[in-house]
Structure 1
Amino acid sequence: LLHYFWFRLGYVVLLWLCVTHLRCARAETKTVVQKDAEFDVTYNDTVTSDNQTIYAFNHTVSRNKTEGVRVTVDVLSEGAESSPILFVVRQKQAVLSFQVPLILRGLYQRKYPYAHVGRTLCQPPTRSLTETQYFFVDVSTLSSLGTHYQLRISRVDSFTLHTDKKFSFTASPSQPQYFKYVFPDGVDTVIVKVNSEMTFPCSVMSIQDIQCPVYDLDNNVAFIGMYQTMTKTAAITVQRKDFPSNSFYVVVVVKTEDEACGGPLRFYPLRPDELIDAGNRSKTLDVVVSPAISSDVYVMGMLFCLGIFLSFYLLTFLVACVENKRMHRRREGLLNPADMSPAETGIPATHYNGTLLDNASTLSSEAITDSIASDANYGYMERSLESVAGRSRQESLSSIEEDDYDTLADIDSDKNIVRTKKYLCVSDLARKDKRVLSKKYQIYFWNIATIGVFYALPVIQLVITYQTVVNVTGNQDICYYNFLCAHPLGNLSAFNNILSNLGYVMLGLLFLLIVLQRDVIHSRALDRNDLNALECGIPKHFGLFYAMGTALMMEGLLSACYHVCPNYTNFQFDTSFMYMIAGLCVLKLYQKRHPDINASAYTAYACLAAVIFFSVLGVVFGKGNMVFWIVFSVLHILATMLLSTQLYYMGRWRLDSGILRRIVYVIYTDCIRQCSGPMYIDRMVLLVMGNIVNWSLAAYGLLKTPNDFASYLLAIAICNLLLYFAFYIIMKLRSGERIQCMAMVCILFTAVVWGFALFFFFQGLSTWQKTPAESREHNRDCIVLSFFDDHDIWHFLSSIAMFGSFLVSVCLVVDEDKAGDHSVMLIEFK
């Protein structure tokens, strides 16, 4: 056995030596031919596995002038895909190798062969004034059959780009192009713009440092530098500090497929190894490098932003000074009592249909005194329907009799009876102690402050991570900027979009200061037992106002976070507090006339949390998902019906097992048995209109299934807010109340600003509903100070408009032009 083992081992060794000898002998017989070659000459030759050709080139490189060298290769033989030719370009500091036909892979590893290949050689830097450099092109193959090819080496005279000078060229997947740009003196930042009249084929524009090799193929262009896909437009802002050599390459690559740019998906190959004909994918492009803005423009932009919003502080201060002066003159008795409003004279205003009327100015002081004395004997009173219908508002106060008022003692204690009266007053729905209600509404402020802190901290951490990923990977398809007007500062890619959100924060803080000043004045009036503060007017609660101001500030902070890296995954950061603001405004409008039955802070924020939850689900799963839209539409309609029932019955209903029986009973008694009309006409009109609007929005969403679900949900909130706000104003006018001049000015000013703001909003400079390349087709240049774009103007105007809307709520909802009797002394003056 031992002898047999050694015999077999010796046999294997001998066989291996024979094979090695044969290989060496064959290698020795392989012919290697070296040729001195020249530029701009086309070489036609054939290569086999038995021969190898080396082309030797030399050229003079100047330090003051950079010329590109381009290698162009064509394979003319059929069936070369099975045995491609290998071309190796050996330079002083780099080696470039590629095969022809060039096989590029697309989505799902589909293969595209290219028989015509053109590559540009990288240019290593030279220290001497002039230098002769040599490079060699080796051509070889493993095919035993001859493969015919053409080789041409040419100079690229327009290899260096010049500032503000457009250069046109053509590129394809197998013939990428790149050019060199050197920063001129005094220019620290430039914008590289690449444009094309052709939407497809999809392309990639990359910015790379001056080094070898240059990554200029579809499968490696993302390995280094900054890059972004493009259809018609691409733009990248480049800073000198990122390139130690004060120069960089602009690389343009045409992709093998168009899916990355939103194009159609090509057919799938029948076999895994099947080669697909790519067709003609040449694309003509233009490149231009322009200087970016200087540091002076940054300073001007920041001063402009601060100046706009500080002017509101100045204007508010001047108005406060005038108001304080007027109050001081009133205290000194310098004003004529006839010119003073009911709030200033301490005269109760008229209540009608649950609202306040101001007709006291037509009365004599004796009539007013008699009226107050007469009504003080009755306590809580209400006009009957007969007295309203049969007596004109111009009748004398002496015609009012005791029978015209309901003096049931149950009204003082039983809220079911109070809330179901046909004509309600503010005091009927504000029967709780003012201190209890004030604490109840302060919870809104503290809750939203807590929510804001816990919401903002992870958001800030996340967007910092996004920005870091963009800076490290160079993938500028992650964020949807307006790249034609994206001015970097530090690590932030679009500082101007972040700066323009400053208005939300500053104006939100200003609104908090205004509310705080009114709160302090009201508290001081209560402390000195002021008659107006104690007994007259709608009860004042400022908790919801504080919550609204805080929400506006948080909207600015989260909008700035979103614009650090805007994309579909963090769009809810920009809209979450918009839902909060819309909800709080509706609650404030409802709270002024229904303070006892308004939703608690915990219930309100829980509902808003559900809205945000559906917003996230819609962004992630809503695109084209019919099941989601059906579920959401059904829930939307059910929520509308439940809220309508809550509002119509003033909260005096129960959702339990007997709800269906009670619904059938109401339909039978009110609609079938006697066909009586609704008891609360005004509320019914509002709720019918609200249901029509919401059902229409639900049907639109179900039929159209819009891609931007967050904006669709925000549109629902805004439509309901505007509807209820219009109803509030109409009811004030129907009840005989008047709108003060200041409130009217605020309404008109806010409406005009909202109109201009929406105009700039719908310009659509970018959209994450499309691919990054398609989004860049909407990019446009800056329009203000070469620093702010249309979306920045939207930030400015929308923050001003929201601040104006809040002022409208203060001037209109607080009803400072009325002095009603909080203890419900219902008097109708002449």
Structure 2
Amino acid sequence: MIHLQLILFRLGYVALLLLCVTHLRCARAENKTVVQKYAEFDVTYNDTVTSDNQTIYAFNHTVSRNKTEGVRVTVDVLSEGAESSPILFVVRQKQAVLSFQVPLILRGLYQRKYPYAHVGRTLCQPPTRTLSETQYFFVDVSTLSNLGTHYQLRISRVDSFTLHTDKKFSFTASPSQPQYFKYVFPDGVDTAIVKVNSEMTFPCSVMSIQDIQCPVYDLDNNVAFIGMYQTMTKTAAITVQRKDFPSNSFYVVVVVKTEDEACGGPLRFYPLRPDELIDAGNRSKTLDVVVSPAISSDVYVMGMLFCLGIFLSFYLLTFLVACVENKRSVDRFTVIYSKYIISYTPGVTPVSPYEYGSFGECVCLLFSLFPPVSERSLESVTGRSRQESLSSIEEDDYDTLADIDSDKNIVRTKKYLCVSDLARKDKRVLSKKYQIYFWNIATIGVFYALPVIQLVITYQTVVNVTGNQDICYYNFLCAHPLGNLSAFNNILSNLGYVMLGLLFLLIVLQRDIIHSRALDRNDLNALECGIPKHFGLFYAMGTALMMEGLLSACYHVCPNYTNFQFDTSFMYMIAGLCVLKLYQKRHPDINASAYTAYACLAAVIFFSVLGVVFGKGNMVFWIIFSVLHILATMLLSTQLYYMGRWRLDSGILRRIVYVIYTDCIRQCSGPMYIDRMVLLVMGNIVNWSLAAYGLLKTPNDFASYLLAIAICNLLLYFAFYIIMKLRSGERIQCMAMVCILFTAVVWGFALFFFFQGLSTWQKTPAESREHNRDCIVLSFFDDHDIWHFLSSIAMFGSFLVLLTMDDDLDDVQRDKIFVF
């Protein structure tokens, strides 16, 4: 009971105090002097305000519906120590109220405070329905300072408040003096691009596009509340569509930030106390703005037709080449047919439904995939049958070699190997083994692409909803939106990967069917000559190229460092599959299985993710990666040198010491396999050098560094293969040579456009925009789009090189084809 009485007494005491304070305030307000002045534009008013008086400035001006003028309020505080008792300015106008204190306190990182004694604000323009209207607004000036604060007030008109199409306008802004201007879409313009430029890198700024409404968010702490915005150093650009603005007009707002860390500038210092006021210094910035019409719908159509036309021409060219090759096959077939077949049917003359060499015959031969017939195969039709039946033979069930396991070691460790030594397993078992590459990569592609598509749609939605265009690293000077996509041209240019990947699959399918029919006829060339033809890896390469196009398009929906792995994952796949295909050509029996290969590629992608997350400046990560890189190179070198005939077990160190003692110390004998040793030594030099470079430089773009390692190894092995092919007395046919030369030239141009660097997520978004450039083709495609075009063509050409480079061996016995 006593506690309850004590609580009630304390509550009554507090209520009495509040009543007294309210009474004192009301009494003081009654004694406060309010002075109202009728003021004029372009007149500077010098006055002093204290807690005992309040000044109201009354203005009026005529607003015309056909002419838009801005009204700007400029305030200076002249008294010292005004931070402790700032002046409050309240601007009351039709449909809007703007209030701010002077000195204006703006906060930066870690809540650091920057006072500004000079403040300039532009008043928003309420719409008028009449042709001409007189509007009134009032500026209330008040403070709680007892000593009085001296200030200057000036209201002026902004004659150049409205921006005109393709007309540059220059102005100056600072954190306490933001600027914004109005733009009205002219007739016939549905899309415009707003460009803001400055010769000054710093101070950091923000450019915002906002709808016509009050209030206008034009301070560093609220400019990101509505509309679209970008940070900028020297340049910024935003594409604006009429459909997003019901009033057919918008504001271009430019705000200078209080600090530069958002644009990559250094942090100057930390405050000693959280409430410490820091001198902001001179942060004025001169900028210019220009609004230009964006491309019309006709340019979109031309861009899409241009893209389709380029890649459909490859289909047409492939069709014409197929016609020429089939015509040659028909010539051979006609001679052989008349020599062998007619003799079995006397008195019967075969009649072709098409005229010899006609277009219809080409179509028939191409789409029926009619195989070329050799004289040797026809002679063996009746004398040779398939030795094995097509059954569900699995390689893991038993060894398909005719000899015992010890003989396998003897064969594979000979000093000079031929393809026949490493092509002894059942061809149907190997075919099924390599088909797993295709089915696995198709499965991987589906399960990889679905969450990626969902994620990038979420990214694009976030960009559209928040208006934060710092999320995605576009080339904003050549980013053409379509629907909800911000840069449709960067997505469209990836169509080449998909179309050319599909074309490569069709070419491989044709060769596969022709080869299968040759095997069904027991063609001796197909059975005993040439490089063994297994097409599973080729199917996987074509699928990977198509997936690369899809995932690259997903990456370009919103390019940034967190999803760059989408663009590179299947590049690792392509590089790895090409190396495996090169190795498989001469080593079909001992090539890696699909499960082992994809497991290794998964490890590479895993390290790619770790490098993106932890690799930037983390020396521990780079040491671990470099050590693993070198160890993996050494293990792979051992595997390749001994053709897999070695074991990684507890006795490996003892055997290494024994080999060093017998071959290097006891007798100085050279390596048994000279060619392989040269390749592996060069490969180790290259890989160790790349590991040392990564350890010393620690590049920020780890994904590209990892891709460079894969490409360097692929190029090294390809060069070794070509050199050894020529050294072995083999030749490169005309078609393969044309593909090699064409692909090399296209790769050169592609890399030129790739290194133009229109944007980079290794820097801040504002710094990245400094590299932005205008479109260069049809006002629709930029340098990176040209890279997409050329690199897809170059990859397609590279695949054709791998497909055709050993066609000269189709008539050579496998026991006369060397392994290297």
| 3-state SS in 1 of match to 2:814 | coil
Residues 729/772 of structure 1: CA separation in 2 closer, same or farther (3 Å cut): same
1:811 counterpart (790, 798, 802): 802
Residues 255/408 of structure 1: CA separation in 2 closer, same or farther (3 Å cut): closer
Is 1:272 matched with 2:281? Answer: no
Select between 107-116 and 12-21 the one with higher mean Cα deviation.
12-21
| 3-state SS in 2 of match to 1:58 | strand
Q: Is the 8 A contact 1:203 1:229 kept in 2?
A: yes
Q: Is the 8 A contact 2:394 2:429 kept in 1?
A: no
Q: After superposition, where does 1:791-830 map in structure 2 within 5 Å?
A: 791-807=784-800, 815-819=806-810, 824=815
Per-residue CA deviations over 1:18-37 (Å, capped at 9, x if unaligned) read 55443322211100010000
Cα offset for 1:527? Answer: 1.3
Per-residue CA deviations over 1:267-325 (Å, capped at 9, x if unaligned) read 00101110000000000000000000000000000000000000000000011111111
Please give the alpha-carbon distance, in whole angstroms, between the structure 1 residues aligned to 2:227 and 2:819: 79
Superposition TM-score, scaled by structure 2 size:
0.89
Q: Is the 8 A contact 1:482 1:766 kept in 2?
A: yes
Q: Is the 8 A contact 1:548 1:584 kept in 2?
A: yes
Partner of 2:216: 214
Q: Is the 8 A contact 2:733 2:805 kept in 1?
A: no
Residues 584/350 of structure 1: CA separation in 2 closer, same or farther (3 Å cut): farther
Please give the alpha-carbon distance, in whole angstroms, between the structure 1 residues aligned to 2:684 and 2:323: 46
Cα offset for 1:343? Answer: 32
Please give the alpha-carbon distance, in whole angstroms, between the structure 2 residues aligned to 1:698 and 1:681: 25
Cα offset for 1:446? Answer: 0.2
Please give the alpha-carbon distance, in whole angstroms, between the structure 1 residues aligned to 2:109 and 2:388: 85
Q: Is the 8 A contact 1:350 1:820 kept in 2?
A: no
Per-residue CA deviations over 1:193-220 (Å, capped at 9, x if unaligned) read 0000000000000000000000000000
Partner of 2:338: none
| 3-state SS in 1 of match to 2:279 | coil
Please give the alpha-carbon distance, in whole angstroms, between the structure 2 residues aligned to 1:34 and 1:12: 38
| 3-state SS in 2 of match to 1:245 | coil
Select between 561-570 and 391-400 the one with higher mean Cα deviation.
391-400
Q: Is the 8 A contact 2:736 2:805 kept in 1?
A: no
| 3-state SS in 1 of match to 2:780 | coil
Per-residue CA deviations over 1:577-611 (Å, capped at 9, x if unaligned) read 00000000000000010011110000000000000
Cα offset for 1:493? Answer: 0.1
Please give the alpha-carbon distance, in whole angstroms, between the structure 2 residues aligned to 1:320 and 1:387: 27
Superposition TM-score, scaled by structure 1 size:
0.88
1:133 counterpart (105, 120, 135): 135
Please give the alpha-carbon distance, in whole angstroms, between the structure 2 residues aligned to 1:401 and 1:76: 92
Per-residue CA deviations over 1:400-452 (Å, capped at 9, x if unaligned) read 99999999997997110000000100010111100010000000000000000
Q: Is the 8 A contact 1:383 1:404 kept in 2?
A: no
Q: Is the 8 A contact 1:350 1:828 kept in 2?
A: no
| 3-state SS in 2 of match to 1:270 | coil
Cα offset for 1:758? Answer: 0.2
Q: After superposition, where does 1:71-470 map in structure 2 within 5 Å?
A: 71-326=73-328, 414-470=407-463
Residues 401/720 of structure 1: CA separation in 2 closer, same or farther (3 Å cut): closer
Residues 428/387 of structure 1: CA separation in 2 closer, same or farther (3 Å cut): farther
Residues 686/389 of structure 1: CA separation in 2 closer, same or farther (3 Å cut): farther
Residues 66/674 of structure 1: CA separation in 2 closer, same or farther (3 Å cut): same
Per-residue CA deviations over 1:386-407 (Å, capped at 9, x if unaligned) read 9999999999999999999999
Q: Is the 8 A contact 1:646 1:652 kept in 2?
A: yes
Cα offset for 1:122? Answer: 0.1
Please give the alpha-carbon distance, in whole angstroms, between the structure 2 residues aligned to 1:522 and 1:38: 93
Q: Is the 8 A contact 1:37 1:55 kept in 2?
A: yes
Residues 36/509 of structure 1: CA separation in 2 closer, same or farther (3 Å cut): same
RMSD after superposition: 8.1
Please give the alpha-carbon distance, in whole angstroms, between the structure 2 residues aligned to 1:404 and 1:503: 42
Q: Is the 8 A contact 1:42 1:151 kept in 2?
A: yes
| Higher RCO structure (Cα 8 Å, ≥6 apart) | 1
Residues 299/826 of structure 1: CA separation in 2 closer, same or farther (3 Å cut): closer
Residues 257/343 of structure 1: CA separation in 2 closer, same or farther (3 Å cut): farther
Is 1:6 matched with 2:8? Answer: yes
Please give the alpha-carbon distance, in whole angstroms, between the structure 1 residues aligned to 2:408 and 2:18: 106
Q: Is the 8 A contact 2:418 2:819 kept in 1?
A: no
Please give the alpha-carbon distance, in whole angstroms, between the structure 2 residues aligned to 1:534 and 1:343: 34
Per-residue CA deviations over 1:132-168 (Å, capped at 9, x if unaligned) read 0000000001111110000000000000000000000
Q: What is the aligned-residue identity percentage?
A: 95
Residues 706/387 of structure 1: CA separation in 2 closer, same or farther (3 Å cut): farther
Residues 51/656 of structure 1: CA separation in 2 closer, same or farther (3 Å cut): same
1:657 counterpart (650, 655, 659): 650
Cα offset for 1:385? Answer: 38
Q: Is the 8 A contact 2:478 2:774 kept in 1?
A: yes
Please give the alpha-carbon distance, in whole angstroms, between the structure 2 residues aligned to 1:396 and 1:522: 17
Per-residue CA deviations over 1:243-288 (Å, capped at 9, x if unaligned) read 0000000000000000000001120010111000000000000000
Residues 277/394 of structure 1: CA separation in 2 closer, same or farther (3 Å cut): same
Residues 404/480 of structure 1: CA separation in 2 closer, same or farther (3 Å cut): closer
Cα offset for 1:800? Answer: 0.3
Q: Is the 8 A contact 1:68 1:121 kept in 2?
A: yes
Please give the alpha-carbon distance, in whole angstroms, between the structure 2 residues aligned to 1:308 and 1:677: 53
Q: Is the 8 A contact 2:377 2:524 kept in 1?
A: no
Please give the alpha-carbon distance, in whole angstroms, between the structure 2 residues aligned to 1:795 and 1:378: 34
Residues 386/782 of structure 1: CA separation in 2 closer, same or farther (3 Å cut): closer
Cα offset for 1:535? Answer: 2.2
Cα offset for 1:72? Answer: 0.2
Cα offset for 1:12? Answer: 7.6
Please give the alpha-carbon distance, in whole angstroms, between the structure 2 residues aligned to 1:349 and 1:624: 75
Please give the alpha-carbon distance, in whole angstroms, between the structure 1 residues aligned to 2:663 and 2:347: 43
Residues 244/438 of structure 1: CA separation in 2 closer, same or farther (3 Å cut): same
